[in-house]
Structure 1
Amino acid sequence: MSTKPSNAPAALLQDHDRTVKRISETIRDFSARGQKFRIKHGSTNSTRTAKKGSNFVDLSKLNRVLHVDTVNKTALVEPNVPMDRLVEATIPHGLVPPVVMEFPGITTGGGFAGTSGESSSFRHGFFDRTLDWVEIVLANGEVVRCSENERQDLLRGGAGAVGSLGTTTLVQLRLEEAKPYVEVTYHPVTSMQEAVDLSKTIMQDPSVNYLDGIMFSKTQGAIITGRKVDSPANGSTIRRFSARSDPWFYLHVKSCLDKAPSQPTTETVPLAEYLFRYDRGGFWVAPMAFDYFHFPFNRFTRWFVDDFLHTRMMYTALHAGGVGKDIIIQDLALPMSTAAQFTDYTHDKFGIYPLWLCPLKTQPGPSFHPHLSGSHAADSPDGIMMNIGLWGWAPAPPPGVSKKDNYLALNRDLESKLAALGGKKWLYAKTFYPEHEFWNDHVGGREWYDALREKYHATGLPDAYEKTHTDIHAEWNQRSAWKDRVLGMWPIGGVWGLWKAIRSGTYKEARASKWKSFGRDAGMQKKLD
């Protein structure tokens, strides 16, 4: 199948089609032999433990922005293009994707196959809602395109289905006008309910382009708004967050609240700096590494080990070292009406702070994305949910209870409370639902999905439950006994993870980022070298 738009470079598209043809032939061969396979991307931003397998389809070479159409405001993007390389291709043209995932290494294909909602998602919805069409290789090797006008069921069913309906090889992404800066305001709040109410009010303001928030405790937090602007207001501070000497974003917000606990603080941030403001420190996950190594956490130490504290390096170390098995990393979307109840529960049960808040425009289910169901859907016709990022160490087990049993019990209790309050999880994280709960309570039924699997020849692929369910007993015993014991000895697992991260060279991606220069002069439109 040709993917050529008339105004795109022919040589690049022909090379893309040749690569997809090879991928199609590999998949067709696995299908003919009745063998399941997994996708090799070259990177991941999932916190699930990778499952073993010997049959892989390598997509790592599909890593280019093939074309930016400045007239129609679209981009033709291969699935392994990460967010930082994507905005480096579009911002010089004065354009930016409507939804940009806040970790630079998250890929375009991952944004479609997973769930990706960010601070612009109260306007635009999840990342897949910004795509015009998606090219997919079905499990029988056939290459098809799906859009609102062609195979819409595959477009919507494949979104968030973790590749269980086919393999994404290209997307056409809509773009919108970019401006050099974002005017960012930190609005203090003193409770979760106040944060919810203020978010509802702000969403009615059409001048606001970005909206998220941080709760630092039960009684201190900030709702953060962003407006795209051409230039800083008179007297406005220009703030950056990407350099080794810059503050981490969440620590900077906390400092602003401490200095002005009852008054909003406004400053100006270059657009790309805003989009990737949480990269250093991985929101606030990186301090757990300092805890693990008993390493002082201060401005100097953060400066000293900065290369290790960007999200690409952190994910690599997490997966290699295996020391994060008892960390809670979950994103949980709640109806606006029950979000405050949920954070009361997490306060008492987990005591984890900060919490990330992000209002999301959702669509009706069934879906693998968070969505409103039952009476909550009827009560909220706009589909808005409040995402809550719960990221931190699991509470210590009570006497006589193992860490593994405690971790499982905490997660199952979390899933139960979430369902009781009408919430849904994001499937990048670990899920522990029994299968019937996964399909009925989370997805909203499986008949539609089974019909899609049959229609699009995907019954031989691992299904969404198989790909996302965490078997805790297998995970905690995945290595040989001696290796598990050795890596479980402090600090060997952590050191091994760091060594593997260094060997991966992923720190070079952050060092090489051209977007860090955007907004340092008036030449945002200037072409990159």
Structure 2
Amino acid sequence: MTLVGPHLHDLAVSRLRRSYAALPQGEQVRLAKGTTNLFRQRQNLAGGLDVSGLRGVVSLDIEAATVDVQGMCTYEDLVAATLPHGLVPCVVPQLRTITVGGAVSGLGIESTSFRRGLPHETVLEMDVFTGAGEVVTTRPGEELFDTFPNSYGSLGYATRLRLLLERVPGRVSLRHLDVDDPGLLAKTIGLVVETGEHDGVRVDGLDGVSFAPDRHRLTLATWSDEAGPTSDYTGQQVYYRSVAERDRDLLTMHDYLWRWDTDWFWCSRAFGAQHPVLRRLWPRRWRRSDVYMRLLALDRRFQVADRLDRRAGRPQRERVIQDVEVPLEGLPEFLTWFDAEVGMRPVWLCPLVTSRDWPTYPLEPGRCYVNVGFWGTVHVGPTAPEAPRNRAVETKVLELGGHKSLYSDAFYDRETFDRLYGGDHLAAVKRRHDPDDRLPTLYDKAVLRR
């Protein structure tokens, strides 16, 4: 990938400023972009900020292991620039088209999060285009920087971020551990997080899949130069099935980073992409999360699944697409509750530990949480529009002292939402950097879907 360089970056920021100035006074500011990894349906608004020139890597310092990257650059393009030099971002979210700015303002996560935290925790500085139309350079410990994670554009948009990179070898050795009891699952996760190893072998990446109430698989990843043939899950084989079927595996670092993207974890099966015959006919370049996202948008637009359900006499579906963080000690209770109340499998498990307090997503520093990700539908009948399962998830997570990511539908009342996501603090910072309220509030975006 070609670096855009500081000059082209400055031109792109100038274009962004002009697009802001061209917006009618008082009109709400938003990005002009046609793609998203959000699952919140939003109102369609015309116009927007021109971010077309903010999709690349500005500069790479191999010796210092840092990179300056534009906010709309995808992790796919960022990794393409850094990996040839044996460097990767410390946390690389699972899906190729997640942008760096999106992961920082919307909280990405991956298997290295148990030792590196969330993506914003290895950001050294960033430039934020605020609601006042200004570019503000901010660093850790400063009010704007510390409030930006989980702000989802309510404070502005990152135009440039400087990230710390991690040096890596070319391969990743995997061990898949079978655990039959959720209590033992939590204990095993806790020991790996505490020691950074398992059976005397270093663990660099840790995540897992819960396939059934009595079958959980933890994947322990170790950065490696191990020789031998590597697996390829971009072809006929499906990665999540290998987690259930194999005890050991070997991937290239590149394929490990994107192991979940090819089949959108396991969600590509909804489109038939895992059927052996159809998979042979499905071009490899179309086996990726952004393609499935477009197919999902078509399904929503034409209500294909709903029409088929009605024709077959099946109850109405509720979409239950969420990522939640529960304290490690509450994981067994949550999984048991989830089986009884929602009944969706598989679910993804990803431990994380944050290094410090972040006001808009206040997890306890040094405490292990487990991200539980579940993405599918449940036939609930005529109450589906009221989202009973999603509301129940919110209540249970709150009861356990956890948190819920805001990339999907949220149903909290304003008071509860502000208490959970630092509403008063966020509002104060927003007043300083968006005095005319050109940007929607976090509650507007996450709950009211504006």
TM over 0.5: yes
> What TM-score do the two structures reach when normalised by structure 1?
0.77
Structure 2 residue 318 is the aligned partner of structure 1 residue 326: yes
For 1:261, the equivalent position in structure 2 comes to: none
CA deviations 1:437-494 (Å, max 9, x no partner) are 2111x31x422111101111253310011011156xx9xxxxxxxxxxxxxxxxxxxx
Amino acid in structure 2 at the alignment position of 1:209: D
Amino acid in structure 2 at the alignment position of 1:160: N
Deviation, 1:12, is 2.5
Deviation, 1:344, is 0.7
Deviation, 1:83, is 1.3
Tell me if the contact between 2:417 and 2:423 (Cα under 8 Å) persists in the aligned partners: no
Tell me if the contact between 1:288 and 1:392 (Cα under 8 Å) persists in the aligned partners: no
Q: Which moved more, 1:180-189 or 1:74-83?
A: 74-83
For 2:255, the equivalent position in structure 1 comes to: 273
Tell me if the contact between 1:332 and 1:387 (Cα under 8 Å) persists in the aligned partners: yes
Structure 2 residue 442 is the aligned partner of structure 1 residue 464: yes
Distance 2:448 2:380 in 1: 21
Amino acid in structure 1 at the alignment position of 2:406: L
Q: Where does 1:219-238 land on structure 2 (aligned, <5 Å)?
A: 219-232=214-227, 238=230
For 1:20, the equivalent position in structure 2 comes to: 13
For 1:393, the equivalent position in structure 2 comes to: 377
Distance 2:77 2:433 in 1: 32
Amino acid in structure 2 at the alignment position of 1:448: H
Amino acid in structure 2 at the alignment position of 1:318: L
User: Given the alignment, which residue of 397, 401, 412 partners 1:422?
Assistant: 401
Distance 2:106 2:265 in 1: 19
For 2:431, the equivalent position in structure 1 comes to: 454
User: Given the alignment, which residue of 309, 333, 338 partners 1:341?
Assistant: 333
Tell me if the contact between 1:28 and 1:139 (Cα under 8 Å) persists in the aligned partners: no
For 2:314, the equivalent position in structure 1 comes to: none
For 2:39, the equivalent position in structure 1 comes to: 47
Distance 1:96 1:357 in 2: 22
Distance 2:389 2:355 in 1: 29
Amino acid in structure 1 at the alignment position of 2:439: L
Deviation, 1:51, is 2.1
Tell me if the contact between 1:40 and 1:59 (Cα under 8 Å) persists in the aligned partners: yes
Amino acid in structure 1 at the alignment position of 2:16: I
Change (3 A) 1:402 1:386: closer
Structure 2 residue 196 is the aligned partner of structure 1 residue 205: yes
Deviation, 1:110, is 0.9
Tell me if the contact between 1:364 and 1:383 (Cα under 8 Å) persists in the aligned partners: no
Amino acid in structure 2 at the alignment position of 1:469: V
Change (3 A) 1:299 1:470: farther
For 1:435, the equivalent position in structure 2 comes to: 414
Deviation, 1:22, is 2.3
Structure 2 residue 384 is the aligned partner of structure 1 residue 403: yes
Instruction: Mark the runs of 5 or more structure 1 residues left unpaired by the alignment.
Output: 1-7, 257-264, 475-529
For 2:277, the equivalent position in structure 1 comes to: 300
Structure 2 residue 74 is the aligned partner of structure 1 residue 82: yes
Amino acid in structure 1 at the alignment position of 2:432: K
User: Given the alignment, which residue of 283, 294, 300 partners 1:316?
Assistant: 294
Distance 1:87 1:309 in 2: 19
Give 3-state SS (helix, strand or coil) of 1:117's partner: coil
Deviation, 1:231, is 2.6
Tell me if the contact between 2:105 and 2:148 (Cα under 8 Å) persists in the aligned partners: yes
For 1:239, the equivalent position in structure 2 comes to: 231
Q: How many residues align?
A: 428
> What TM-score do the two structures reach when normalised by structure 2?
0.90
Structure 2 residue 99 is the aligned partner of structure 1 residue 99: no
Change (3 A) 1:382 1:366: closer
Distance 1:332 1:395 in 2: 21
Give 3-state SS (helix, strand or coil) of 2:107's partner: coil
Instruction: Mark the runs of 5 or more structure 2 residues left unpaired by the alignment.
Output: 306-316
For 1:249, the equivalent position in structure 2 comes to: 239
Distance 1:411 1:94 in 2: 41
Deviation, 1:367, is 3.5
For 2:313, the equivalent position in structure 1 comes to: none
Distance 1:388 1:286 in 2: 19
Give 3-state SS (helix, strand or coil) of 1:280's partner: coil
For 2:183, the equivalent position in structure 1 comes to: 193
